Amino acid sequence: MTQRISISPEIRSGKPCIQGSRITVSDILDALAAGLTYDEILADFPELVIDDIRAALKFAANRERKLNSIKE
């Protein structure tokens, strides 16, 4: 599922994005944190599918897990 996420220095300054778009993982996380539902996010970003939202969450969880393992 994380193959839906790409990182390229030429796109959004290298921030993790949904493959083939300029929508960042942070854009999706911010929308979720603001209380938007999956359906509302999909309406705001019609190029996304539900698996993109899930991939963003998985990517963020994996990154957090890696950061925590470095601290330990």
Where do the domains of the chain lie, and which CATH numbers do they carry?
Answer: 2-71 (1.10.10.10)
Question: Structure tokens of 67?
Answer: 């950061």
Higher pLDDT, 36 or 3: 36
**pLDDT of residue 16 exceeding 90:** yes
Q: Which of 13, 8, 48 is nearest to 28 (CA)?
A: 48
Taking only the tens place, the pLDDT of each residue in 30-65 is 999 999 999 999 999 999 999 999 999 999 999 999
Q: Which residue type does 22 have?
A: R
Report residue 2's pLDDT band, with 50, 70 and 90 as the boundaries: low
Tokens describing residue 38: 């999956």
Q: In this structure, what DSSP letter does residue 34 have? A: T
Tell me, what amino acid is at 37? T
